[in-house]
Homo-oligomer: A and B are copies of this chain.
Amino acid sequence: MLREEHHFLDTETVEKVSRTFKALADPTRIKILHLLSQEECHVNHIADVLELTQSAISHQLAYLKNAHLVKARRRGKTVYYSCADQHVLKLLQMTIEHQKCS
């Protein structure tokens, strides 16, 4: 196929797509999203369940929030997080499922 016959992705699309996959490319973030797909959780609960420090979790939640993959809700001292992007959640679940049977 000649150069001009190809279908090209514009830079912006490529960047956005790579950002989406980057968010899903880290074990801690995968575990967090998988947990939040089961229920809304507060920060310390996530840290307890996943056996990671509060700081590590908080940093990753900030990352995920910035990427619009989770949303936060404050209730007194506690901040509850939940999934905010069903499409990305679906990508994750598809990939987990596919992994299991391969």
A13 contact set on B, CB distance < 8 A: 96, 99-100
Partner of A30, one of B1, B17, B92: B17
Choose one: B3, B6, B27, B48; the contact of A3 (CB below 8 Å): B48
Q: A9 contacts B21, CB within 8 Å? A: no
- Asked if B91 and A3 make an inter-chain contact with CB atoms under 8 angstroms apart, the answer reads no
Number of copies: 2
A contact patch SS: helix
Decide yes or no whether A38 CB sits under 8 A from chain B: yes
Q: Please encode chain A, from 67 to 102, with 1 for each CB lying within 8 Å of some chain B CB and 0 for all others.
A: 000000000000000000001000110111011100
Contact A21:B95 (CB < 8 A) given known A9-B30, A14-B30, A34-B9: yes
